[in-house]
Amino acid sequence: MLYALPLVFALIGLALYGVLGGADFGAGFWQLTAGSGRGADGLRQRAHDSMGPVWEANHVWLIFVLTVFWTAYPKAFGSIASTLSVALLLAAVGIILRGAAYALRTGTDEPRQQRAIDTVFGVSSVIAPFALGAALGGIASGRVPVGNARGGEISSWVNPTSILIGTLAVLTGVYLAAVFLCGDANRDGEPELAERFRVRALAAGALAGAVALGGFAVLHGDAHPLYRGLMTGGGLAALTVSVLAGTATLALIWTRHYEPARFTAAVAVAAIVAGWALAQSPRLLPGLSVRQAAAPRDTLVAVVVAIVAGGALLLPALGTLFRLVLGGRLGHVP
Amino acid sequence: MISLASALGPVQQHYLVQARQIQALSFAVHIPLVCFGIAFPAMVLFVEWMCRRTGDEVYGLIARRWTKVMAALFAVGVITGTVLSFEMGLLWPNFTATFGGVFGLGFAIEGFSFFMEAIFIGIYVYGWNRLSPRMHMLSGIPIVIAGLTGSLMVISVNAWMNHPGGFTLTSGQVTHVSPVSALFGNPYLWHELVHMYLAGYMVTGFLVAGAYAVGRLRGRWGRFERTALAVPLTIAALAAPVQVLVGDWAARDVAKYQPTKLAALEGVGHTVRGAAEHIGGWYSNGGVQYGLRIPKLLSLLAYHDPNARVQGLDAVPAADRPPVNVVRISFQTMVGIGTLLALLGVIYLFVRWRRRRLPESVWFYRALAAAGPLSLVALIAGWVTTEVGRQPWIVYGTMRTTQAVTGAGGIPIGYATLALVYAGVAAGVVWILRRLAAAPLAPAEPARPTVHGA
Ligand code: HDD
Ligand code: HEM
Ligand code: HEM
């Protein structure tokens, strides 16, 4: 089982990135679509402020996933990155523009300039998760063969499954962001703003759910092994959890219970990652099982030890950060 | 010698040179930001501590203003670093696929270091005026530590590429992998770590002090500016002379573990005893033309023995030699700048010590204004020396860069895209630094520029 342990950690990291990083991307979307006027500026500011202290830490989950993956499954990593190079470049460009826009925003108080920066931020906040989701879709639908750029450079990420998962990645982020921002605005005594995010959360949640359901038709035709995996055994169980948690979130938002909604929304997204993993296991890439892809034993042991030791340091620190943030105890850049 | 069978098999890549240039470009963008990640938190924290200790609000003002700069540069450091992580797969998938199990651990541990840095930077930057003074200062300490551990981890990977160990090649396959000894049992690690860490303090110190030196040349010279110049300058001035000694250590390690690189650094065409040092000039036909020649100095510097034998480039086949002039000119640039900066540092420290004040000559401030950009040039030149000097190997003596590269097409498009995006980012960084510098000196507790209460 040692050979699969780093993958489990990487998937936990991916789920956390999907929830935390995804919500940061989603906040960018709400900035993009805020419109104009005083109310819109307030909405954009809220989205920006909520993200400020945490987005860098949330982003590191992506780095975590990458590094664990290339250390523990180097051959699979090389195959994936070379075949999906276009999608990953696109994601990288999105990530650069996003971070740069974020850094620049602190430099200006002028609404006009802020709006321009928020537009770059918002557009790149859609590109990056879409490209990352599309890349995952290429892996999930078996379009990444083992080898140095052996798969289709375009078809590996422009295909029905990729488009579905890319779209879902954007939508779930948008949905999560609305749920979280709703809670933040409510906590900070801004009921009017909370109400606006509530409407957005309900709309985005309904849309994401609808696309996910419709997506099964796509998977049925385009990625049948994955579809079968999701309809049986562990895959089905995880899927059920996700649907239940997603529905519960909508109900909680509807009834204005924002704090518990944060957690059910997160569970809904994490369960999808788990479901994908269970549906696809033990295959990592076509003709390459997780066990075959794994690095030598000493490396696996070292990685696991490093993750456990690092986690022992990390989790309390991360807990402190989120306690401060969720408690509304952090302010602004001085 | 057994040649390596790469994990993903051989490919034809017409754009290897461009792939290398993308890597170089991405590093050249990331490394200066890294310097601020290494050294700036310590400087900000020191100033904040001075404020708490003396109650002098000038220090508090400096700490707040620098915090904004730190936050902006950190964000850009994060994204440029992320691009580098992507490039491990986008540009060199066969390198990662073949050796990820050997060197990857360093990056995996580094991930945790980044986590700590990002978490506490979030708390520190957004905790001003919110946390208790004591808690706020404490939240800054992990950032400083993470700057050190982060450098240690990434440098351990680079040192491994330069002096690989911790695995065996069995009929071309990588076996008997021991990542811990590969990364941390490597004698090549330590000079690189110390040299880079000091470089971080020099670059940050000279750039920040240089900005205030420019201000002084334009007539902005209050107590705020004097203090904000003295702190980073003192730190950089202390680091600069030490850096020369560490550079000598680095050169001796290179002589020991990478004799071909040393030969390229110094333009030694043929193996000789009592090798001469050449300053300036151009390498061709197996020797340095038009350089200033100092007999026996190279043997003395590299081996601390004027008659030591120095291996020449002719010891290895032509296909195994790096491009000599690129490496040699970069090296000489770094050493030249390093010597000048050490001199500047010593002058400053001398004036501080004997006269107990800042230097007054306008020439000192002109030199200081130049020192910031020059230290950056030295930094990049140093990395060019190390990385291009290792060519044609990506893993010294084991894997060629041609074996590591991706088989994907579209490298020129990726190159153009990244170059464009980086140009935009660079323009943005310049813009925000100028905005932050131009902002009027705010009162100690600035009103928060928000649209809502709370
Ligand atoms: C502010 C920057 C700076 C300054 C002033 C110097 N260096 Fe440097 N040097 C670097 C910044 C740097 C670096 C951080 O860019 C490198 C690249 C790899 C490394 O470990 O440090 C480097 C590499 C490097 C190497 C190659 C090491 C290797 O390949 O492993 C040598 C031999 C030297 N340096 C020697 C010197 C000497 C003799 C200097 C003094 C006069 C000097 N450096 C000043
Ligand atoms: C671990 C993965 C790494 C890979 C795959 C890699 C590979 C390369 C390659 C192929 C080049 C181009 C060389 C040439 O132009 O001839 C390069 C350049 C460079 N590398 Fe590395 N390297 C790695 C690690 C590092 C590290 C850890 C550092 C710094 C700590 C570093 C610093 C640089 C710099 C600054 C250049 C630019 C040289 C220039 O400006 O021309 N590299 N790298
Ligand atoms: C192959 C080479 C490299 C890779 C893959 C890489 C990767 C990264 C990544 C992913 C980040 C973002 C961390 C975050 O999200 O917070 C980052 C930032 C950072 N990197 Fe690099 N890096 C490389 C070279 C270097 C070098 C040469 C150094 C210095 C010795 C370095 C030191 C740092 C530091 C201190 C940060 C913290 C962010 C900052 O303060 O700007 N990295 N790097």
Dump pLDDT digits (tens) for A103-127.
888 777 777 887 788 888 889 999 9
For residues B263, B269, B275 and B276, what is the CA-based torsion angle, rounded to 10 degrees? -100
pLDDT value of position A329 = 74
Closest ligand 3 atom, CA of B193?
30
If you ran DSSP here, which 8-state letter would residue A2 be given? G
Residues of B in contact with A46 (CB under 8 A): 452
Which token pair is A71? 């250390």
**Cα three-residue angle A114-A119-A122, rounded to 5 degrees:** 120
Which token pair is A184? 């933040």
Per-residue confidence band for B444, with pLDDT thresholds at 50, 70 and 90: very low
Number of neighbours of residue B260 by Cβ within 10 angstroms? 23
Does B443 score more than 80 pLDDT? no
Burial annotation A131-169 (CB, 10 A radius, 16+ → b, else e): bbbbbbbbbbbbbbbbbbbbbbbeebbbbbbbbbbbbbb
How many Å separate Cα B417 from the centre of its chain? 24
Number of neighbours of residue A283 by Cβ within 10 angstroms? 16
ipTM of the prediction = 0.89
pTM of the model: 0.90
pLDDT value of position B154 = 94
pLDDT value of position B326 = 93
Residues of A in contact with B101 (CB under 8 A): 71-72, 74, 295-296, 299
Q: How far is CA A287 from CA A1, A76, A136, A145, A260, in A?
A: 19, 11, 17, 8, 43
pLDDT value of position B442 = 58
Residues of B in contact with A71 (CB under 8 A): 100-101, 104-105, 107-108, 179
> pLDDT tens digit string along B219-244?
888 888 899 999 999 999 999 999 99
B389, B327 contact by CB (below 8 A): yes
Closest ligand 1 atom, CA of B203?
1
pLDDT value of position B454 = 29
B105, A303: Cβ pair inside 8 Å?
yes
A74, B418: Cβ pair inside 8 Å?
no
Q: How far is the CA of B93 from the centre of ligand 2 (A)?
A: 15
Within B189-291, where are the H helices? 189-217, 223-257, 259-266
Contacts of A16 by beta carbon, 8 Å cutoff, 6+ apart:
A61, A270
B123, A319 contact by CB (below 8 A): no
Closest ligand 1 atom, CA of B192?
20
Per-residue confidence band for B339, with pLDDT thresholds at 50, 70 and 90: very high
Residues of A in contact with B406 (CB under 8 A): 81-82, 85, 148-149
**Percent of chain B predicted with pLDDT > 70:** 96
Beta bridge partners of A14: none
Q: How far apart are CA A199 and CA A221, in angstroms?
A: 34
Positive or negative, the CA dihedral B264, B267, B272, B274 is negative
- What average pLDDT score do residues A281-291 get? 86
A70, B107: Cβ pair inside 8 Å?
yes
Q: What 3-state DSSP class applies to B405?
A: coil
pLDDT value of position B2 = 57
Does A322 score more than 90 pLDDT? no
Q: How far is the CA of B24 from the centre of ligand 2 (A)?
A: 6
Closest ligand to Cα B192: 1
Determine which of B78, B153, B169, B405 to mutate to test the interface with A (most A C-beta atoms within 10 Å).
B78
Does A289 score more than 50 pLDDT? yes
* Dihedrals phi, psi of B23, to nearest 5 degrees: -60, -45
Residues of B in contact with A81 (CB under 8 A): 86, 88-90, 93, 96, 406
**Cα three-residue angle B399-B403-B405, rounded to 5 degrees:** 120
Per-residue confidence band for B397, with pLDDT thresholds at 50, 70 and 90: confident
A59, B82: Cβ pair inside 8 Å?
yes
Closest ligand to Cα B30: 3
- Of B123, B181, B199, B184, whose CA–CA distance to B149 is shortest? B184
B121, B74 contact by CB (below 8 A): yes
How many Å separate Cα A254 from the centre of its chain? 24
- What average pLDDT score do residues B340-350 get? 95
Number of neighbours of residue B371 by Cβ within 10 angstroms? 27
- What average pLDDT score do residues B77-81 get? 91
Å between A3 CA and nearest CA of chain B: 12
HSE (side-chain half, CA atoms, 13 Å) at B285: 3
Q: What 3-state DSSP class applies to B444?
A: coil
Q: Angle, to 10 degrees, between the axis of helix A160-187 and the axis of helix A191-222?
A: 160
> What is the widest separation between alpha-carbon atoms in chain B?
76
A266, A124 contact by CB (below 8 A): no
Q: How far apart are CA A122 and CA A117, in angstroms?
A: 9
pLDDT averaged over every residue in chain B: 88
Q: How far is the CA of B379 from the centre of ligand 1 (A)?
A: 7
pLDDT value of position B445 = 43
- Best mutation site among B163, B186, B195, B303 for ligand 1 pocket (most ligand atoms within 8 Å of CB): B195
- What average pLDDT score do residues B386-413 get? 87
If you ran DSSP here, which 8-state letter would residue A189 be given? T
Contacts of A39 by beta carbon, 8 Å cutoff, 6+ apart:
A196
Per-residue confidence band for B446, with pLDDT thresholds at 50, 70 and 90: very low
pLDDT value of position A89 = 93
Q: How far is the CA of B38 from the centre of ligand 3 (A)?
A: 10
If you ran DSSP here, which 8-state letter would residue B446 be given? P
A306, B105: Cβ pair inside 8 Å?
yes
**Cα three-residue angle A187-A188-A192, rounded to 5 degrees:** 95
For residues B413, B417, B418 and B422, what is the CA-based torsion angle, rounded to 10 degrees? 150
B22, B415 contact by CB (below 8 A): yes
> What is the widest separation between alpha-carbon atoms in chain A?
59
